[in-house]
Structure 1
Amino acid sequence: MLYIFAGLPGTGKSSLSSRLAGQRGAVYLHIDTIEQSMRRAGIDDIGPKGYGVAYGVALDNLRLGATVVADSVNPLDITRRAWRETADLANSPFVEIEIVCSDTKEHQARIESRTTDIAGLKLPTWQDVLCRTYAPWQPAPIVIDTAGRSIKQSMAEMIESLRLKGY
């Protein structure tokens, strides 16, 4: 099973996806960790390479029968399609989950107060988030709005949404 997460930085995507991975005993693929590891290895022009690494690691693990949680901004149809194709290559089911924060002030406050445990990772500014390309979904995935909610509340909603869809 492949859980494909998406959402702008600061929406709660990593908090929810990592908790789901822990709860389901899944392999957790965090694109920030992958890309920062590539930078530390001397690869400066990452572009789509980090996603490519993630697709390959996901495919290997799905073929072994593991559950995989993919945590990335996943901003374009091309990246979303590549995740679906990865699941298809492994004959694995998948579900797409978009995490949003509909309250702009709350979202900005989250961005401006974030910290990371990934050594050397430069977090995006609010301006970076505002300028980021993020295409609408076709078709719409499961959408979890974290505005005004705790991680526990958002997690409960996500688990219920997954249950109702048979995941």
Structure 2
Amino acid sequence: MSLSSLLTGCGTSLKTFPSQEKFGSTATYSRLFDATPAQTCEAARRALLSQGYIISTAREDLVSGQKSFQPDVESHLQLEIRIVCVPDSKDGKVSLGFVTALQDRYALKKSNNSASLGVGVIGSVSLPFTSSSDSLVKVGSETIVSVSFYDSFFDLVKQYLVADDGLDAAH
């Protein structure tokens, strides 16, 4: 018996999944802006704030924010959006914004607990006291791939860049 057949026989079969990634057009996750990376990231920060996101990171080259949703009583969603802003021209006045959104899904898990009571000489007595505790358990995580989701985000960022240009011109 060869070593490879021995190893094949002893190994456990691993569950395989089809490839989830198809590298292709970057149009879904990135856009060019007529602004510096710092201006682009600031507009992205304002866009997130305007939609109720809590900003966890705000730098000239990176912004990230989170927002929670509760679509029904037993589930919870958390959406995290990250924007990376990089220069795309030699003079730095054109930038490229890369955006990804990750959605985590949680479900309510109930667990029952019963109580027992230890009584000195008698020993342990089980009493019919029960309680249940609820906890959220992460059941999934996925990158948002909807083109319309990203289009609407980039449109909002552009609105804040235009608003900033108006403020700069007034000063």
TM-score (norm 2): 0.23
Larger helix share, 1 or 2: 1
Q: Which has the larger radius of gyration?
A: 2
